[in-house]
Amino acid sequence: MQSDFCVATHALVCLAHTKRAWKSRELAQNIRTTAPRVRKVLSALAPSGMVASKEGIDGGYVLARGPETITLGDVAETLGIRCVSLSWESGGTDPHCIVSSGMGQEMRSIAQSLDDQCKRFLKGITIQRIVEDLRKHPSDPSQEKKKACRPVY
């Protein structure tokens, strides 16, 4: 997974959980990244209709669709994320060795199949499901009563 996918998912879950506009600076503090990075990632999601930006004093980023209609597969597809890819290939073009000459293509094929399976899996997870899971199972039991996120200052 690429980190832009994590930034996008975190931001979408914040927007869905609180049902309010968030400024990029607020999201960045919650995600623990920079505001320019949040703007870059969310601006890539805007053309797909997942988020919109709202002008004015109460402005910021808002969900443009219901969280039950946004899947992690949509996020990955929109951002051009590859779940599985090869960073190196073994073998070469030795015409006398079937293993050396064919291993690169075989591994690319396996990686592509794994990537396709991963993306199908992500299509089954909605932003709403993540919000509900977080509400049911807070990571820190001492914070069980926390209902809403606040910007971290």
Domain membership of residue 102 (yes or no) is no
Residue 70 structural domain: 3-84+126-143
> Rounded to an integer, what is the distance from CA 95 to the centroid of its chain?
42
Give, for all 153 residues of the chain, the pLDDT tens digit: 589 999 999 999 999 999 999 999 999 999 999 999 999 999 999 999 999 998 888 889 999 999 999 999 999 999 999 998 888 888 888 778 989 888 989 999 999 999 999 999 999 999 999 999 998 876 665 555 555 565 543
> Rounded to an integer, what is the distance from CA 13 to the centroid of its chain?
10
pTM score of the predicted model: 0.83
Domain membership of residue 92 (yes or no) is no
Q: Which pLDDT belongs to residue 141?
A: 59
Q: In sequence order, what are the residues at sequence separation of 6 or more whose Cβ sits closer than 8 angstroms to the Cβ of residue 112?
A: none
Cβ atoms within 10 Å of 23's Cβ, excluding its own: 16
- Number of domains into which the chain is organized: 1
Domain membership of residue 74 (yes or no) is yes
Residue type, position 50, single letter = M
CATH number at residue 54: 1.10.10.10
Q: Which pLDDT belongs to residue 153?
A: 39
Q: In sequence order, what are the residues at sequence separation of 6 or more whose Cβ sits closer than 8 angstroms to the Cβ of residue 139?
A: none
